[in-house]
């Protein structure tokens, strides 16, 4: 059976779909009709999970290929095809896949007396986000499936696939922008965050100097130059977290990946780094709203990772954190005054300040003044198509912020969302009448 002749792309058929389809294509199955319906069921399930449309068989083959991490695909990611004999082994595998791509499933369905082949050859799927891929990546996989189905030879199929690896990478680290840490029975996992907000730096009104500082450091990092760990601190609702989401969107195509780490997971930083240090991507370990109370000591794990442990931090890993506290660890007046019950009060202060000092770049996000707040409201209202006299808009915004958290970009966005909700309600009332 051809599937058993694969050299590099073995062990990619976890759910048995390729095995069943291979049996059907080669006519070696005992219960062909049953096996056909089992395969169609699985293709439809994958379409729902990953947002596939069109030829589901081609989408399935493409999905397996772009997610299969092996010696060839990992070398290709962001670099291109390697030299040497491995290319011959890959070409043999591509010959098998090329045959699968070009097999006419209508002929197989006709032989089995089944008329439902069009269901999987011209499937119309949902364009909404799915649990498997973002809308953008689902579309990319679909376009790649079309290209690979049209490849004139196994050599061309190999060339198309290699180009995809070089541009996007391979597996979950290649196909997704952001990740979080999850625990299962198998242990710690790095799992994709499929749908992150489509925020861009130009969407954030104001904070030009802060954004430029963040861009300079991130640009140096993705370009392979020296860069620093970065601490974004300041008032709540000023765009610190949104800035991180924005750089995830901005630099994904250049190999940047974001891994969100919660405070209770700091002890696992070494294991996370061990899994990503040899990959051809740039990783930012992102810690949102980071701060520590006096009794918490987990910050010492973070200190050791940033600087101070025996093992050098990999060149492809940086740490970005956001916080409302400049020094991250809570300080008290007792620290400043040096109470008598502490023999070395200055040592206590230095211990608490040492974490923040290990971030080479610190960026301050200050709450906007009234003028900037009103400008943020004006811009957001215009972007969202809110038509209201400016004087009335700003008056309502000022009333809103007095009872909803004060002057901040977050408050401005919440006010605009409130106006949009009112408009939608009015439209709904009109539709009813």
Predicted confidence (pLDDT) per residue in 16-44, tens digit: 898 888 888 887 666 888 889 999 999 99
Predicted confidence (pLDDT) per residue in 297-325, tens digit: 677 777 777 765 556 778 999 999 998 87
Between helix 17-26 and helix 86-101 the angle, nearest 10°, is: 70
pLDDT, average across residues 259-272: 90
Q: What is the per-residue pLDDT for 113?
A: 84
Determine the Cα–Cα distance for residues 51 and 44; give it in Å rounded to an integer: 10
Residue 256 has pLDDT above 90, yes or no: yes
Which residue bears the tokens 């599937």? 3
DSSP label of 288: S
Residue 432 has pLDDT above 50, yes or no: no
Of 164-173, 197-206, 330-339, the range with the lowest mean pLDDT is 330-339
Q: What is the per-residue pLDDT for 218?
A: 97
Q: What is the per-residue pLDDT for 427?
A: 45
Picking from 304, 313, 297, the residue whose alpha carbon sits closest to that of residue 263 is 297
Q: What is the per-residue pLDDT for 150?
A: 96
pLDDT, average across residues 148-174: 94
Picking from 97, 107, 78, 108, the residue whose alpha carbon sits closest to that of residue 151 is 97
- Choose between 310 and 167: higher pLDDT: 167
Predicted confidence (pLDDT) per residue in 213-248, tens digit: 999 999 999 999 999 999 999 888 888 999 999 999
- Give the confidence band of 284 by pLDDT, cuts at 50, 70, 90: very high
- Give the confidence band of 94 by pLDDT, cuts at 50, 70, 90: very high
Determine the Cα–Cα distance for residues 129 and 275; give it in Å rounded to an integer: 28
Q: What is the per-residue pLDDT for 333?
A: 44
- Give the confidence band of 355 by pLDDT, cuts at 50, 70, 90: confident
Q: What is the per-residue pLDDT for 14?
A: 64
Coil, helix or strand for 187?
A: strand
Instruction: Name the most confidently modeled range: 47-61, 75-89, 185-199, 397-411.
Output: 47-61
Determine the Cα–Cα distance for residues 372 and 387; give it in Å rounded to an integer: 20
The phi, psi pair for 233, rounded to 5°, reads -130, 160
- Give the confidence band of 331 by pLDDT, cuts at 50, 70, 90: low
Of 126-130, 137-141, 197-201, 354-358, the range with the lowest mean pLDDT is 126-130
């Amino acid at each position: 059976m051809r599937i058993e002749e694969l050299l590099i792309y073995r062990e990619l058929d976890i759910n048995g779909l390729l095995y069943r389809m291979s049996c059907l294509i080669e006519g070696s199955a005992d219960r062909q009709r049953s096996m056909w319906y089992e395969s169609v069921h699985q293709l439809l399930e994958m379409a729902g999970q990953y947002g596939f449309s069109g030829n589901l068989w081609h989408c399935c083959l493409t999905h397996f290929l772009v997610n299969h991490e092996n010696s060839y695909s990992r070398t290709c990611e962001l670099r291109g095809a390697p030299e040497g004999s491995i290319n011959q082994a890959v070409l043999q595998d591509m010959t098998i896949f090329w045959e699968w791509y070009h097999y006419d499933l209508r002929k197989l369905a006709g032989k089995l007396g089944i008329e439902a082949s069009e269901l999987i050859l011209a499937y119309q799927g949902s364009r909404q986000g799915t649990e498997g891929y973002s809308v953008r990546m689902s579309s990319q996989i679909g376009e790649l499936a079309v290209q690979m189905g049209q490849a004139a030879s196994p050599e061309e199929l190999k060339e198309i696939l290699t180009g995809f690896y070089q541009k996007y990478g391979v597996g979950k680290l290649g196909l997704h922008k952001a990740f979080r840490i999850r625990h299962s029975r198998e242990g710690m996992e790095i799992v994709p965050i499929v749908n992150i907000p489509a925020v861009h730096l130009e969407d954030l009104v104001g904070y030009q100097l802060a954004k430029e500082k963040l861009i300079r450091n991130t640009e140096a990092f993705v370009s392979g130059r020296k860069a620093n760990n970065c601490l974004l601190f300041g008032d709540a609702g000023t765009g610190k977290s949104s800035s991180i989401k924005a750089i995830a969107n901005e630099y994904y195509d250049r190999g940047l990946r974001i891994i969100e780490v919660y405070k209770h997971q700091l002890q696992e930083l070494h294991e996370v780094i061990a899994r990503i240090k040899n990959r051809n991507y740039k990783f930012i370990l992102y810690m949102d709203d980071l701060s520590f109370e006096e009794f918490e000591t987990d910050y010492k794990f973070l200190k050791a990772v940033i600087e101070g442990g025996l093992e050098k931090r990999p060149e492809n890993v940086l740490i970005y954190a956001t916080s409302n506290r400049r020094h991250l660890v809570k300080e008290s007046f007792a620290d400043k005054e040096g109470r008598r019950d502490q023999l070395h009060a200055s040592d206590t202060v230095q211990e608490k300040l040492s974490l923040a000092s290990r971030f080479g770049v610190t960026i301050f996000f200050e709450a906007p003044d009234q003028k900037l707040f009103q400008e943020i409201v004006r811009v957001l209202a215009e972007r969202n198509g809110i038509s209201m006299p400016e004087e009335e808009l700003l008056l309502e915004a000022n009333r809103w912020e007095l009872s909803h958290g004060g002057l901040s970009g977050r408050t401005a966005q919440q006010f605009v969302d409130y106006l949009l909700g009112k408009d939608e309600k009015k439209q709904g009332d009109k539709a009813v009448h």
